[in-house]
Structure 1
Amino acid sequence: MLGLSVMRRLLISGGMRGLRLQQLLSEETLRHLQTSPHNTRHISVISTVSLWPFSSQPRDFSQPNSSWSPEMHKVYDNYNALCDTDIENGEEKRGPWRKLPSYNRSIKYATGGIHLSKLIQAKARLFTRNVKEQGATFEYVVFVNKEEKRCVCVFQAGRLLEGAPGHVHGGAIATMIDTVTGTLAGFLSGPVMTANLNIDYRNPMPLGSVVLIHSALDRIEGRKTYITCKVTSTDESKLYTESTALFVSISVGHLFGSRN
């Protein structure tokens, strides 16, 4: 049970702004505070203060922007059309694909992740979104097909990802493979962490090119989720990279540094 002294410290530190008082306290504690004349003033103060420093409506970084090439727009529009909702026999029917907003975390779209996402939604962006300049690094959008247990990422590599002259750095490609395969694993299995990532580079990827990162579920064994991945040109005629990945389901405590 949170006492008033604890609540005061939370308010002073600003460490939990944005959560409603009812989300922090049990019903018993709320009744105790509300029925005590001494606590009325404190409740008024606490209930009117924002308890979470982060925006409740984070920006979606996977929306089209001026840095996207015509090819990026074309492929995006193609997959986005598959996400459209149709009305059939008076009932709303969703397409087989779903675009995943590129917020700080996509965990709320994972199995059982909606409650966890409220705790870890943060102002800081994912590693791939840390550069504010549009088009300089990782421009991408992920579409997932839950029925087929696979996803496709449309990826455009920016100028800061150069490795060999004129080509994308292998580490940047590995980052995107880890991001996309991890997104699919998390979507299907809930919170996961990368346990193993094997990559075979088949052809160098030209800097600034647009590619497709195809990921699919191989199998799930207990806490282990196995994903296959390949990176191709948008017409799928050229193979750049092949990969296999293993993700292990984790408890919520691991995300907050708990060893229990």
Structure 2
Amino acid sequence: MLGHIARSLGRLQLLQSSLPSIRPVSTMALWPFSSQPRDFSQPNSTWSPEMCKVYDHYNTLCDTDTENKERKRAPWRKLPSYNRSIKYATGGIHLSKMIKAQARLFTRNIKEQGATFEYVVFVNKEEKRCVCVFQAGHLLEGAPGYVHGGAIATMIDTVTGTLAGFLSGPIMTANLNINYRNPMPLGSVVLIHSALDQIERKKQFITCKVTSTDESKLYTEATALFVSISVDHLFGSQN
């Protein structure tokens, strides 16, 4: 009998040693890189002086903390760029906890800083508009020396969608209409301006333009349509 118990315990120990360690849910990180989400929209060594200058300009227009730890209100707000954008949609602070940890925002899926999409978004909720400061890395080349049109479309979709989601909650792109006016030099810093045009029930119509930082040159114009979506599937609903 004792021999049977010993053999059973031995098999149990062998089984336990072959299983991957499982951490309690309460201690698991929401993000796959560290216990604290990393803000990819902070300045880094690959940002050009022009990128840093425009960033500083808009950052001074944002909410700040006073010496008394009080919040000084301002018209603009900087949106941190974590692994997923849903956190900064209306109501997204709760929904972000339901997202699978291995998911990662498409424009942040390259570890090498400065190689692809370097950007930061500032939003003005009262005026229902936002501006993105974008620097295109060397891996975004299309025609020699210029940014690929698909990379520009990705940023337009990202920025207009960020504004729509920030104003109304989870959304999906229904239509994106882009007119390329001038080629964008690789490595250049541009502004992506987006504004809410109108709302029709679940539909949001957004206008967008991409310009040089001094706004003297127009690179791209676009209109976008976003539709509010249900997130019931995150809670196991089949409806």
Report the TM-score when normalising by structure 1: 0.77
1:84: how far off?
3.9
| Matched letter for residue 181 of structure 2 | R
Q: Which among 197, 200, 203 is matched to residue 224 of structure 1?
A: 203
1:258: how far off?
6.6
- Paired with 1:182 and 1:79, the residues of 2 have a C-alpha distance of 20
State whether residues 211 and 218 of structure 2, in contact with CA within 8 Å, keep that contact through their aligned partners in structure 1: yes
User: SS at 1:198's partner residue?
Assistant: strand
| Matched letter for residue 117 of structure 1 | S
State whether residues 18 and 53 of structure 1, in contact with CA within 8 Å, keep that contact through their aligned partners in structure 2: no
1:110: how far off?
1.9
1:255: how far off?
6.1
Q: Which stretches in structure 1 are left out of the alignment for 5+ residues? A: 1-11, 21-48
Structure possessing the higher relative contact order (Cα contacts under 8 Å, 6 or more residues apart): 2
Residues matched between the structures, number:
220
Partner residue in 2 for 1:98: 77
- Paired with 1:254 and 1:14, the residues of 2 have a C-alpha distance of 28
Superposition RMSD on alpha carbons, in Å?
A: 2.7
Distance 1:14 1:50, change over 3 A: farther
User: SS at 2:113's partner residue?
Assistant: coil
- Paired with 2:233 and 2:172, the residues of 1 have a C-alpha distance of 10
Distance 1:85 1:161, change over 3 A: same
Q: Which among 179, 189, 201 is matched to residue 200 of structure 1?
A: 179
Partner residue in 2 for 1:113: 92
State whether residues 119 and 132 of structure 2, in contact with CA within 8 Å, keep that contact through their aligned partners in structure 1: yes
Aligned positions of 1:70-149 closer than 5 A: 70-85=49-64, 92-120=71-99, 122-149=101-128
Greater CA deviation, 120-129 or 58-67? Answer: 120-129
- Paired with 2:106 and 2:28, the residues of 1 have a C-alpha distance of 27
- Paired with 2:110 and 2:36, the residues of 1 have a C-alpha distance of 20
Give a deviation string over 1:203-243, Cα, whole Å, max 9, x none: 00000000000000011111111110000000000000000
Runs of 4+ deviating beyond 4 Å? 12-15, 49-56, 254-259
Distance 1:92 1:238, change over 3 A: same
Give a deviation string over 1:21-61, Cα, whole Å, max 9, x none: xxxxxxxxxxxxxxxxxxxxxxxxxxxx6486744421111
State whether residues 63 and 71 of structure 2, in contact with CA within 8 Å, keep that contact through their aligned partners in structure 1: no
Partner residue in 2 for 1:36: none
Percent identity, please: 83
- Paired with 1:182 and 1:130, the residues of 2 have a C-alpha distance of 18
Partner residue in 2 for 1:174: 153
Q: Which stretches in structure 2 are left out of the alignment for 5+ residues? A: 1-18
- Paired with 1:249 and 1:18, the residues of 2 have a C-alpha distance of 34
Report the TM-score when normalising by structure 2: 0.83
User: SS at 1:65's partner residue?
Assistant: coil
